Chains A and B, each alone.
Chain A
Amino acid sequence: DADVTQTPRNRITKTGKRIMLECSQTKGHDRMYWYRQDPGLGLRLIYYSFDVKDINKGEISDGYSVSRQAQAKFSLSLESAIPNQTALYFCATSDWAPNEQFFGPGTRLTVL
């Protein structure tokens, strides 16, 4: 089945370290998104990309950067991790926007 995958699934790191979270999809979708989930705050958009050359900041992009290496791959980087970036991170895809988004399994990141 076509799917959205994320690596790693869990990561513990220290303040100041550089971290990359990776997302891959076999759905053939052009649009990809990165969200973070915090208890009581829902899903907040970090970055989104409508194609390889079109990358846009979401509502909470400070402290994050992204790279769209190919249609199927969208990576999220934390250049210098800080403890308040501890959260559950989801990647999602859609065939067009706005339309149903398909989420990956999530990456639980802990910054000590």
Chain B
Amino acid sequence: GENVEQHPSTLSVQEGDSAVIKCTYSDSASNYFPWYKQELGKRPQLIIDIRSNVGEKKDQRIAVTLNKTAKHFSLHITETQPEDSAVYFCAASSMDTGRRALTFGSGTRLQVQP
């Protein structure tokens, strides 16, 4: 089955700096890669996703890049703000029948220092 590794497990940045979280996956058939944000005591919520037909996707201060050859993808947050402090999870899934469930990484706790 799919295995997703996520690094770092914790990340502390100063407000205004950029943050980068990296994930690698094992199944070359995976072609959907979402990122979820979980604030303290809250449920995970999708913040951005990318499918394998594109290499990069942006949404305001958030971007995701995908390298299918190397089987890794990354989340980039620019101009970080205190409200970006949360746990971030990457995930991977295949469009193939029978392998459509998401496999999540272990999470990165991001702390943005004011």
Contacts and interface: CB of A to CB of B under 8 A. Distances in A.
Nearest to B94: A98
B43 A90 contact: yes
A74 interface: no
Interface of A: 33, 35, 40-45, 48, 50, 56, 58-59, 90, 97-101, 103-106
Contact of A97 (B44, B46, B93): B93
Interface stretch (B11-19, B66-74, B104-112): B104-112
B107 A58 contact: no
A42 B101 contact: no
A42 B94 contact: no
B28 to A, nearest CB: 16
Given A44-B104, A101-B34, A101-B46, 20 more contacts: A40-B9, A40-B106, A40-B107, A41-B106, A45-B101, A50-B100, A56-B101, A59-B1, A59-B103, A90-B43, A90-B44, A97-B100, A98-B34, A98-B95, A99-B32, A100-B46, A103-B43, A105-B42, A105-B43, A106-B43
A111 B6 CA distance: 29
Most buried by B among A43, A44, A45, A48: A43
Nearest to A39: B107
B103 A45 contact: yes
B45 interface: yes
A58 B101 contact: yes
Given A98-B32, A98-B94, A100-B34, A45 B43 contact: no
A24 to B, nearest CB: 15
24 contacts: A33-B101, A35-B104, A40-B107, A42-B105, A42-B106, A43-B104, A45-B101, A45-B102, A45-B103, A56-B101, A58-B101, A59-B103, A90-B43, A90-B44, A97-B100, A98-B32, A98-B93, A98-B95, A98-B102, A99-B32, A100-B46, A103-B45, A105-B42, A106-B43
A42 B102 contact: no
